[in-house]
Amino acid sequence: MNTNLYQITIGQLVIDVVKKDIKNIHLGVYPPDGNIRIATPLKVNDDRVRLFAISKLPWIKKQQAKFQAQSRQSPREFISGESHYFQGRRYLLNVIYHQSSPKVIIKNNTNIHLFVRENSTLEQRKKVMTEWYRQQLKEQIPTLLDKWQSITGLTANDWAIKQMKTKWGSCNITDKRIWLNLELAKKPQNCLEYVIVHELVHLLERNHNERFIAYMDKFMPQWPIYKEELSQFIL
């Protein structure tokens, strides 16, 4: 089937548009974050797609409000029995009190052992886990970045990790510096690779336009699948 994927922006809304060999326009708003997607016939022009989206804004906002009202994972207290994620897998946390330096160990692919002092606070336990996630991601990134720099022929001068609330990554095009969200340590590796490629491609094209999509299709043909997979994971 012939397809073409790009994005349009209406106000604060970013809408994925895919052109297909179909007869009618279809609109969907998807969990967990209310991502918007319009599937449209190949011959429908961009102005008509934009007008269609504008006409559906009340419905779109209503659907997004429903997702926002749905329960999310409760705030983590970093106590035994909680679910925590690492590289796309769910683990049960087991807090172990000891007198030595704090550390984190994965056990039997089912448990994460968090070693802390008995009187540790929530913030202290959270800090230990956060730094462990950061270190794991730091160990993953260089090999994957080298892999995709070789494939794309693009080179980032520098990269760093930081906590971001609304983006999985960002790219300073002038300095050729890539930032990756710390939360990616919790996601499957293919999702991390997708974000790396996404940010590298911004060195060629600043905007999420047809040229950007063409580069993504060239370097990572399965990227829409990874993007969708990434959107299904709760932060």
- The domains of the chain, with CATH numbers, are 4-69 (no CATH), 121-231 (3.30.2010.10)
Mean pLDDT of 179-205: 96
Distances (CA, A) of 131 to 146, 208, 227: 24, 32, 26
With 70 as the cut, is the pLDDT of residue 233 above it?
no
With 50 as the cut, is the pLDDT of residue 1 above it?
no
pLDDT of residue 227: 86
With 90 as the cut, is the pLDDT of residue 2 above it?
no
List, for residues 78-108, the tens digit of each pLDDT value.
Answer: 999 999 999 988 899 999 999 999 999 999 8
| Residue 112 or residue 70, greater confidence | 112
